[in-house]
């Protein structure tokens, strides 16, 4: 088979890129080892993504936002609570979207709904071929193209191959791209909860020594209130919580939420995800570009991962469209170099920022605890500083994808 762009991995990032290119009538093939041929094959789970305004704009450009929006919850207030000092009151700061002239910072979206909608979109677009189940086995650079061997026996030849195949990216390995990796020794427990009090569209991140505990608003259903939970703990503690029965787990949640949401009931069973930080030393190789978790994996603190990934997607799609307009070879070194240049600063600042933030927040060192509490208090009392923090913390840095 022959195409212009071969995308390895049918996760949210790979599929969004495929849809954006499809909208621009650029032929592309997506390869995905799981059988995702029908949207229903994507199981419901407890993962949601808090996607900020620029990411929503990217989903709009991919033409899936209109249908998706009604199933998402707007995030109007971001609350941070330092809950780390025993015997002292927690310190709280609220960031309101209206303070920076916005209705909301973004929306909380169930991952499976987003992925299902993207699959529907790929199946209705004449410029997209979705090969599933099919996995990447090998890559070989040829004159003017790159050829991929797949485990279903097919070969695909393309101008450029995009690695969107997640944290254990085979594309990255085949391209001999090294990574720098840190194991945080933390795991994230995710689950969905029902609660008796409304969330008022406030997303709350409690900073605790084991890691952050975050409650993210979801859409009300039949008058009942729901939120998604991302609860980070040192891995042995997370394992202990995962072994609790339903009522024990609900009690632990009740305590962690400090009753802010009223009575808690589990709406979807907890799942646990090991956390690490990983950054690829390069994001390009001959006729190859990496995006999303193939290029960077980070802690869920601050909900930055997929937001950063979607900015990779926007930047790569714009670079490829531009190259087509200029009559360039899409997989040629100057085009790849332009993509890398566009993404370098945003990736590095966001990755190292989140890494440092996670280390400062997830510890029990008295000195850092003092700085954290003092930092939040002064941020709350100096409006200009708070305004800057909101703008800087929630917007992409420097040369982000301009679709946003």
Q: Which is nearer to ligand FAD, 32 or 346 (CB)?
A: 32
Q: Which is nearer to ligand FAD, 188 or 376 (CB)?
A: 188
Sheet holding 106-110, edge to edge: 48-52, 106-110, 73-75
In contact, 31 and 8? CB cutoff 8 Å: yes
CB of 190 to ligand FAD, least distance (A): 5
Residue labelled with tokens 């009223």: 262
CB of 72 to ligand FAD, least distance (A): 12
Q: Which is nearer to ligand FAD, 230 or 280 (CB)?
A: 230
Q: Which is nearer to ligand FAD, 217 or 323 (CB)?
A: 217
In contact, 232 and 211? CB cutoff 8 Å: yes
Residue labelled with tokens 């808690």: 264
152 token code pair: 């279903």
Could you give the CA distance from residue 302 to residue 162 in angstroms, rounded to a whole number?
27
- 78-92 burial string, b = 16+ CB within 10 Å, else e? bbbbbbbbeeeebbe
CB of 283 to ligand FAD, least distance (A): 13
Q: Which is nearer to ligand FAD, 32 or 400 (CB)?
A: 32
Q: Which is nearer to ligand FAD, 188 or 336 (CB)?
A: 188
Q: Which is nearer to ligand FAD, 75 or 324 (CB)?
A: 75
CB of 85 to ligand FAD, least distance (A): 26
Find, among 199, 197, 150, 195, the residue nearest to 170 by Cα: 150
DSSP letter for each residue of 74-97: EE-EEEEEE--STTSPPEEEEEEG
Running DSSP on this structure, what letter comes out for residue 224?
B
Cis upstream peptide for 133 (omega within 30°): yes
Could you give the CA distance from residue 92 to residue 94 in angstroms, rounded to a whole number?
7
CB of 134 to ligand FAD, least distance (A): 7
User: What φ, ψ does residue 203 adopt, rounded to 5°?
Assistant: -95, 125
Could you give the CA distance from residue 211 to residue 121 in angstroms, rounded to a whole number?
37
CB of 311 to ligand FAD, least distance (A): 10
Find, among 233, 234, 197, 186, the residue nearest to 214 by Cα: 233
CB of 328 to ligand FAD, least distance (A): 27
Chain-centroid distance, C-alpha 131: 24
Q: Which is nearer to ligand FAD, 166 or 270 (CB)?
A: 166
Q: Which is nearer to ligand FAD, 31 or 93 (CB)?
A: 31
User: What φ, ψ does residue 100 adopt, rounded to 5°?
Assistant: -115, 25
Residues forming the site for ligand FAD (CB under 6 A): 8-14, 31-34, 49-50, 135-136, 164-166, 170, 188, 190, 230, 273, 292-293, 300, 303-307, 309
Q: Which is nearer to ligand FAD, 18 or 257 (CB)?
A: 18
CB of 327 to ligand FAD, least distance (A): 30
Other residues' Cβ atoms within 10 Å of the Cβ of residue 242:
15
User: What φ, ψ does residue 390 adopt, rounded to 5°?
Assistant: -65, -45
CB of 167 to ligand FAD, least distance (A): 6
Could you give the CA distance from residue 370 to residue 88 in angstroms, rounded to a whole number?
12
Q: Which is nearer to ligand FAD, 88 or 352 (CB)?
A: 352
CB of 189 to ligand FAD, least distance (A): 8
CB of 32 to ligand FAD, least distance (A): 5
CB-based closest residue to ligand FAD? 11
What H or E segment, with its residue span, contains residue 215? strand 213-217
What is the number of alpha carbons within 13 Å of residue 71 lying toward its C-beta?
15
Could you give the CA distance from residue 109 to residue 100 in angstroms, rounded to a whole number?
22
């Amino acid at each position: 088979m022959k195409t212009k762009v071969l995308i390895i991995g049918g996760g949210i990032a790979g599929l969004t890129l495929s849809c954006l290119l499809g909208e621009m009538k650029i032929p592309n093939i997506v390869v995905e080892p799981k059988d995702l041929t029908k949207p229903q094959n994507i199981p419901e789970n407890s993962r949601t993504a808090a996607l900020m305004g620029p990411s929503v704009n990217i989903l709009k450009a991919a033409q899936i936002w209109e249908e998706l929006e009604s199933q998402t919850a707007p995030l109007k207030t971001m609350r941070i609570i330092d809950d780390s000092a025993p015997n002292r009151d927690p310190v709280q700061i609220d960031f309101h979207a209206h303070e920076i002239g916005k209705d909301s910072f973004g929306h909380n979206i169930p991952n499976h709904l987003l992925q299902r909608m993207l699959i529907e979109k790929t199946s209705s677009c004449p410029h997209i071929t979705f090969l599933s189940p099919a996995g990447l086995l090998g890559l070989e650079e040829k004159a003017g193209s790159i050829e991929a061997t797949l485990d279903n026996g097919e070969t695909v030849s393309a101008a450029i191959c995009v690695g969107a195949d997640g944290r254990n990216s085979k594309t990255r390995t085949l391209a001999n791209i090294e990574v720098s990796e840190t194991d945080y020794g933390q795991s994230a427990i995710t689950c969905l909860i029902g609660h008796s009090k409304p969330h008022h569209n406030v997303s709350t991140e409690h900073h605790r020594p084991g890691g952050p505990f975050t409650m993210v608003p979801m859409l009300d259903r039949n008058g009942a209130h729901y939120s998604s939970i991302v609860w980070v703990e040192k891995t042995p503690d997370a394992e202990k919580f995962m072994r609790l029965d339903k009522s024990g787990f609900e009690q632990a949640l009740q305590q962690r939420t400090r009753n802010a949401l009223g009575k808690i009931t589990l709406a979807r069973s907890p799942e646990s995800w090991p956390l690490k930080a990983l950054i690829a030393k390069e994001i390009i190789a001959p006729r190859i570009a990496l995006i999303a978790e193939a290029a960077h994996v980070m802690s869920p603190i601050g909900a930055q991962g997929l937001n950063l990934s979607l900015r990779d997607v926007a930047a790569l799609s714009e670079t490829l469209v531009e190259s087509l307009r200029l009559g360039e070879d899409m997989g040629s070194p100057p085009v790849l170099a332009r993509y890398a240049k566009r993404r370098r600063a945003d990736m590095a600042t966001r990755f190292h920022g989140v890494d440092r933030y996670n280390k400062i927040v997830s510890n029990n060192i008295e000195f850092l605890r003092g700085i954290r509490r003092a930092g939040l208090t002064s941020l709350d009392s100096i409006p200009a500083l708070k305004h800057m923090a909101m703008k800087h913390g929630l917007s992409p840095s420097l040369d982000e994808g301009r679709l946003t």
